[in-house]
Chains A and B, each alone.
Chain A
Amino acid sequence: QKEVEQDPGPLSVPEGAIVSLNCTYSNSAFQYFMWYRQYSRKGPELLMYTYSSGNKEDGRFTAQVDKSSKYISLFIRDSQPSDSATYLCAMSESGYNKLIFGAGTRLAVHP
């Protein structure tokens, strides 16, 4: 079993939909949780960064961390075709530490 599980999709939604992306993990020592977006043939780009449990909102994006359930989520409101990309969850035990990534979920938002 992998340390971080993420459904690879693909996930296809119409423009304007609310998208929910999720990851589960097994290592209770993880404290830092991130979501990266990766366009084809590009490097991962940080979208959201959360320390410990709680919610964080940035524009159309909301990240949630539930450490008791070992479950993290990313919500995208009013999805746009430009949101079509692969979304990677990542986590680490501490700062200046290696990131453990999920497999990535491929999202397609169609007009």
Chain B
Amino acid sequence: GAGVSQSPSNKVTEKGKDVELRCDPISGHTALYWYRQSLGQGLEFLIYFQGNSAPDKSGLPSDRFSAERTGGSVSTLTIQRTQQEDSAVYLCASSGQGDIQYFGAGTRLSVL
């Protein structure tokens, strides 16, 4: 596609529910990143994929957070048993031959 696409753009959920966030990277980009942007913490790295493998998961804040990537393309970030502190904007980025990361518009998650 023309750019990184994320869905949904907004998600409101109740505390304790599971949520899935989707990222469609730029076609042909092998690297994919998830970041979280919150008021108090700024923009923080969560996980990095090269193809379908995740060589760096160091930013995942707890075992409630997981991500997968299939076919070297679409990625899903799953948050189980959501908590209010999970409320944030979740951003996805992808990069191709170069190392420039291009970002999507994000998914704004609100946990009530």
Contacts and interface: CB of A to CB of B under 8 A. Distances in A.
A joins B in a complex: yes
A41 B103 CA distance: 13
Given A43-B106, A44-B91, A96-B95, A104 B100 contact: no
* Secondary structure call for the A interface: loop
A96 B99 contact: yes
B100 A46 contact: yes
A43 B45 contact: no
A101 B4 contact: no
Contacts of A92: 99
Interface string B83-105: 00000000100010011111111
Interface of B: 4, 31, 33, 35, 42-45, 48, 50, 56, 58-59, 91, 95, 98-106, 108
